[in-house]
Structure 1
Amino acid sequence: MEEFAMSQNDVHPFDARGVAKRFRHAAIFGALESLEDGEVMRFVNDHDPLPLLGQIQQRYGNQVGISYVAREPGNIVIDFTIQLGAPATAGAPAAAGAAGSCSGTSGQGCGCSGG
């Protein structure tokens, strides 16, 4: 069985500390929507963005995987992985009422326009 090794080219850094607070969520959503299936955005921040994670879950469901790489005070690193083959709903109550789902088509990125 062949193992899949993620290339560093598939991991795109996003340091939220350098983005003005009023633009931050829009910039993050735009970055996620520009990724293709299987690509990862490595998000870095100085605090745990729990409200943002809830918004991502509502907006994209399971089609954006969330995985902490580091979760220490002042050093939060999260990998957001685009998973277009995943069911659109996350199964959690917060995602059940999502207005739309990620429906990218054959390498065209996430494709979500938000709500």
Structure 2
Amino acid sequence: MTDAPSTQSEITHIDVRVLPPFERHPQIFGTLHTLTPGKVLHITSDHEPRPLQYQLETALPGKFSWEYLEQGPEVWRVEITRLDAGCDCCCGSH
């Protein structure tokens, strides 16, 4: 067994189809808060994740990019990339 160095190609994945609905957004946001700039989270869902995108843009504007990898009709896959290393607090910048 060898310990490979961490690379930017490592991608965290959450398949929300196997999670109870009440755990989905908390798990996603908990994971997003652990990402460093340039790191990626892939999400797989059985429904359009647009509400998650709006929540992310509202709570953490400018911190993440959002790209669809697959857009239904049965499976949606999204790639979210951490852009900014600043504070993830909800107070915003003034």
TM-score (norm 2): 0.80
Superposed counterparts of 1:29-48, under 5 Å:
29-48=29-48
Please list the CA deviations of residues 24-76 of structure 1 after superposition, one character each: whole Å capped at 9, or x if unmatched: 11111101101111000011001111111100000111211000011021110
**Consecutive unaligned residues in structure 2, runs of 5 or more:** 1-6
Q: Distance in 2 between matches of 1:71 and 1:81?
A: 18
Aligned residues: 85
**Consecutive unaligned residues in structure 1, runs of 5 or more:** 1-5, 86-102, 105-111
Indicate the structure with greater helix content.
Answer: 1
Q: Distance in 2 between matches of 1:44 and 1:22?
A: 16
Do the aligned residues in 1 keep the contact of 2:8 with 2:38 (CA within 8 Å)?
Answer: no
TM-score (norm 1): 0.67
Misfit runs of 4+, over 4 Å: none
Matched, 1:8 2:19: no
Same amino acid, percent of matched pairs? 24
CA RMSD between the two structures: 1.9
